Structure 1
């Protein structure tokens, strides 16, 4: 009987080394084949601790976005498709280094704000800033 007990204990052992090899090979395969995509986003200049010089509203190109989605370029209502042309005209009048300030209502659509910023950059604005409307 002792021989039968000894044999069953030997047969009951499972060698997991080959299974670990397969797991590590699969892990290496998934690490190598995974592609890492870099997300594209907006590049923003964050404010520093230094006091900023204030500019008069006449020295900048002000684009206002109301909560209803209405857009105004220097207090003239415009459509989103006309923002670029208006900014180009203002840059030609005031100079190409004139900053553009997008003043958005806090409840305005953020997608619309991004589209306005893109239009201002495509118009050739050197610097585009974001501000919130005072209530």
Structure 2
């Protein structure tokens, strides 16, 4: 018959957590410090001016055309106009400069259809530098 073992039971083995936590934090700090972030500006589609002569600074900037839309009325630069007159004026402006700035201001009670018609006239004339806002 075999003799029973007289070894003492060491009890449950206890795993030390403090050194493991230290190693994890050291690895975390190592990866944060060695991380190289990509240069975001290198991937942006930026149009830089071409090298050459500087632009002429004496050129007067184009004046802004303001079109106000009220309920049943159109006002262009403080003059009452009809939708047909506005179309012909915008065509003439487009012949002079396609980069003309046009600010369209709508009253609260103006009809949405009138704004759409003014935007269509600007599109037909080829004017794309538009700003639309509303009056209080």
**TM-score scaled to structure 2, two decimals?**
0.49
Higher helix share: 1
Query: Which structure has the bigger radius of gyration?
Result: 2
**TM-score scaled to structure 1, two decimals?**
0.49
